[in-house]
Amino acid sequence: MKGADPSNGLEPAVPHMSRRQVLTLLPAAGLAALPLPARAAAGVDHARLLANTVAMFAGTPEVNARPEVAGKLAAITGTAGQRLAAMDRAGDGELFSGLPLGANDANLRLAFQYLYEMALATRTPGGGLDGDAAVQRRVVDGLQWLHERHYGDQSAGYYGNWHTWEIGISTHVSRTLVLLAEPLREHRPGLTQTYVASMDAYLRNGKDGDVDLDSRFHTGANLADITANRILQGALTGDDARVGKAISDQATVFATIDPYDLRHGVTDGYYRDGSFIQHHSVAYTGSYGRILLTRVVQTLKMLDGATGGGTSDLAGVVYGWIADGFAPLIFEGWMMEIVKGRAVSRTASGYGDVGTIVEAVADLADHVQGADALALKKYVRHLPAADTAAFVSPVSIARYAAIRADAAIPAADLNPPERCVAFNAMDRTVHRRPGYAFALARNSDRISKYEYMNGENLMPWFQGEGAYHLYLAGEDQREVFGVDYYTTVSPYRLAGITAPVEERRTVPELYGRFWYENPGHPLNFTSSSESQNRYVYFPRAGNAFSGGATLGAYGAAGMVQSDDAAYTAAQAGLLPDDFVVHRNARATKSWFMLDAEIVVLAAGISGQDGREAVTTVDSRIAAPGDAVTLTGEGWDGRAWQAGDTAPPRWLRYANGTRRTAVGYAFLTRQPVAAGLETVTRSRRVVRAANPDTAVTKNVFTASVTHPATGAVPALAYALVPHATESRLRRYADGPLTVLANSRHVQAIKHETLGIVAVNVFADGPRQAGRLLVDGPASVIVRHGERTTVGLSDPTMKRDRVAVVLRGAPLKLVKADEGVTVRRVPGGTLVQATTRHAHGRTFTATLR
């Protein structure tokens, strides 16, 4: 089940599956979840399900004999040996040395993880501890010890993070119970049922010890985790109804989210345009989306042959997630930062993120049919070699190695060479060309400005404020982005943002803890309350305009910068007096994504409250020893030098060591502050749990200051990847023209491409060149042998959008459903019915 061809000007199309359609695809066991016990008894082969699970995590004798798996076996055995040594050194009141229990939920989760790692080694064929009954007995006794002292007492448990108790511990326990099912029956025959009862009781955000699909905690990746655990628990206890209910609950994550027909009020999951949202409003493909992908593929593997039906149709849905949700966000094996939420502050790299996706892709290739299976295998060969040491399953390592070694499978990207993807459902845009990729993060009253939580991503304030990443081919992205980018680049100078000149403090600095605590207030501020989410962890914006149109492989996006929900609530007197809020700067912005350049327009810029504002054209980092040079030229043709106050016509940043360069062609005249600075900071400044590792980088920043007097209210420039100086000089004579740049209309024309692109932010009609646009809209028109038009409603609130193409009347060749074309005095009217389209682009071809 493939999505639409992304080269035809349509939005990416993840296979659209309603909940009803998903349920019809489930095997009998899935439908058993419907609350009738007789239907639940439709039969699941529990032994097969459990054997599949053991093989998935521990491997098989045949697989584990392969040389590619040897490293994984050694790692499993070595980790178990470390855990055994820690158990041997345990002091009074400890199960493992150095892991005090009783007050720290993370330590308790680790204790269960350590037991799982020991159990896994005893079930891994070919491993050094395979079949070691003594170790198995120690694990069983450890489970008993933890339950008696730290887990079984419901009145003493459930401190710290809810995730620990409802997901983290249950995941390790459920898998351990599966691995050691026989020793448990022999030595502690009632312990499995005892643990299942306790895990049910800890589902406090559920209902009657089970999943509650109406709970804001039981959605998306979290729901997949919980239900995967409950499938295993049901198989262990021979409970068909439990297995069937868990399968049915997990099946809801396969259903495409329809924002106009929400089920259980859930906005978490995959959208028609490939977007993925978790935490109700956070763009999260690169973190929670990965977790969900991993878990559902593991479920497909667990259920293989254990139910009465097949799951290939569901696997086809997951194929769509990969092709249209993940692939656009992966550049040369690196997961883009714009969809990682608070995980951008972690030390794990974007390459490691993609490694977990590659494992799922290799596994999924065995569950989809024909062309889709081949496409996935081609993609596995296209991506850089993954670090299989991070793979969960030895079987996956062997499967991955076989695909990589198969010379009959040609390497091929799931992306066409040129692609522009508007993930408007999560306020993200990705623009790809051979040699570079551009990734843009926006926000709105639908999507959060950033995500902070649990001491992670401590300085996130402007990460969704039009921040962008320009990835260049051939780079080791760990050297130019990742955690070190956020560590060494000022949070007020992220590439692309307009920020007020002020200093902010982190949540721990403000409140002395990782959240704002005030349970006595009517909004009930606790660590996991809805108010904490809304005003601290991931606040949304106040603007509706955020989105854009695509036309073939070209794109336009726009955003109106606004205050966040906390500031707005504070002005209304809704928040406590000691709750700190910040007023944002104002700006109206557009990004027009072409072939050789990305054109950025900004207008109506103000720092508000008598403050200056600063727009950062770019910030890039390099190793201190890299040969970095800055060159430029003024509008008078003279060479530009750092410190010049005269406006530059162009600047060029070049890293001679890495043989990369980015040019900045300015289309308006204003002073630009650009220079290099050596910065050393600890990675702990962005995440409290990071190691206190000092990072030194050579930081380049180019920025424009907007005085509080109102001077420099607008600017326009083009980012030019891989630019040479001679190429930058040519922008003086075209091909770019700024047709409009105000708070109401922003538009450009590219003469060579025959493209006119416009964002209208105000009620209309508004004119840009020969286009007349009726009210808020995003429009791209390309002239040639035929004229093609793409238009969308970035506010997601309009019933229809329209544009008049002035000039000789044009005839309709073809158009998307919902598009009408007719002659009007002076030109041709193209109108699209955008009601409930959620920002989707509508296209028409004219002659």
Write the pLDDT tens digit of every residue in 187-225: 999 999 999 999 999 999 999 999 999 999 999 999 999
Mean per-residue pLDDT, 748-765: 96
Which contiguous run of DSSP H or E holds residue 810?
none
Q: Is the pLDDT confidence value at 489 over 50? A: yes
Q: How confident is the model at residue 390 (pLDDT cuts 50, 70, 90)?
A: very high
Beta strands in 112-234 (DSSP E): none
| Residue 774 tokens, joined | 């009726």
What was the pLDDT predicted at 5? 34
Strands laid side by side in the 766-768 sheet: 766-768, 771-773, 800-806, 827-833, 819-824
As a whole number of angstroms, the distance between CA 364 and CA 373 comes to 8
User: Is 64's pLDDT higher than 80?
Assistant: yes
* pLDDT for residue 19: 52
Residues 436 and 433: their CA atoms lie apart, in Å, by: 5
702: left (phi > 0), else alpha (psi -120 to 50), else beta? Answer: beta
Are the beta carbons of 351 and 454 closer than 8 angstroms?
no
Torsion on CA atoms 503, 509, 514, 517, rounded to nearest 10: -100
**Gap between the Cα atoms of 714 and 603, Å rounded:** 4
Please write down the HEC assignment for all residues of 242-278.
Answer: HHHHHHHHHHHHHCCECCCCCCCCCCCEEECCCCEEE
- Residue 310 has a pLDDT of 57
Mean pLDDT confidence for 408-413: 97
Instruction: Locate 642 and state its tokens.
Output: 């750092």
Q: What are the distances in angstroms from CA 803 to CA 10, 774, 789, 800, 828?
A: 19, 6, 9, 10, 8
Look at 40-44, 268-272, 448-452 and tell me which has the smallest mean pLDDT: 40-44
Angstrom distance (rounded) from CA 527 to CA 455: 12
Task: State the sign of the Cα–Cα–Cα–Cα dihedral 305, 14, 229, 287.
Answer: positive
Q: Report the alpha-carbon distance of residue 449 to residue 572 in Å, rounded.
A: 20
Q: What's the average model confidence in pLDDT over 105-126?
A: 98
Q: What is the CA radius of gyration of the chain?
A: 28
- Do the beta carbons of residue 789 and residue 830 sit within 8 Å? yes
Cα gap 254→406, rounded to integer Å: 31
514 CB contacts (<8 Å, ≥6 apart)?
A: 453, 454, 455, 507, 508, 527, 688
Strands (E), 524-659: 546-551, 554-560, 586-593, 598-606, 613-622, 628-634, 648-655
Q: State mean pLDDT over 444-473.
A: 98
Q: Which residues of 275-304 are buried (b: 16+ CB within 10 A; e: fewer)?
A: bbbbbbbbbbbbbbbbbbbbbbbbbbbbbb
Q: For all residues of the chain together, what is the average pLDDT?
A: 94
Strand order in the sheet with 467-472: 419-423, 428-433, 436-441, 467-472
Predicted local distance difference test score (pLDDT) of residue 42 = 52
Residue 432 CA to residue 417 CA, distance in Å, equals: 7
The mean per-residue pLDDT over the stretch 530-558 comes to 98
DSSP state of 448: B
Q: Which amino acid is at 132?
A: D
Q: Which of 300-304, 685-689, 776-780 has the lowest mean pLDDT?
A: 300-304
Measured between alpha carbons, how far is 487 from 311 in angstroms, rounded to an integer?
A: 44
Residues facing residue 822 across a β-bridge: 829
Helix (H) or strand (E) holding 781: strand 777-782
What distance in Å separates the CA atoms of residue 670 and residue 197, rounded to the nearest whole number? 68
**CB of 632 closer than 8 Å to CB of 625:** no
Q: Using an 8 Å Cβ cutoff, are 315 and 364 in contact?
A: yes
Give the pLDDT confidence score for residue 734 in this predicted structure: 86
Helix (H, G, I), strand (E, B) or coil at 835: coil
Q: Which helix (H) or strand (E) holds 483?
A: helix 483-488
> How far is the C-alpha of 195 from the C-alpha of 151, rounded, in Å?
9
Does pLDDT of 28 surpass 80? no
Pick the residue with more confidence: 19 or 80?
80
The one-character DSSP state at 741 is: E
How far is 185 from 191, CA to CA, in rounded Å?
8
Pick from 727, 759, 724, 427: which is nearest to 592 by CA?
Answer: 759
Q: Is the preceding peptide bond at 417 cis, omega within 30 degrees of 0?
A: no
Note whether 305 and 311 are within 8 A (CB): no
Instruction: Average the pLDDT over 691-713 and give the result.
Output: 97
- Give yes or no for residue 358 having a pLDDT over 80: yes
- Cα within 13 Å of Cα(800), Cβ side: 11
> How many CB atoms are closer than 10 A to CB 640?
21
β-sheet with 660-666: strand ranges across: 546-551, 554-560, 586-593, 598-606, 715-721, 660-666, 648-655, 628-634
Residue type, 534: R
Taking the C-alpha atoms of residue 169 and residue 116, their distance in angstroms, rounded to an integer, is 10
Contact 101, 160 (CB under 8 A): no
Asked whether the CA dihedral 147, 150, 153, 158 is positive or negative, the reply is: negative
Name the 3-class secondary structure at 233: helix
pLDDT band at residue 8, thresholds of 50, 70 and 90? very low
If one counts every other C-beta atom within 10 angstroms of the C-beta of residue 776, the result is 24
> How many Å apart are CA 742 and CA 728, to the nearest integer?
25
Torsion sign (Cα): 182, 184, 188, 189: negative
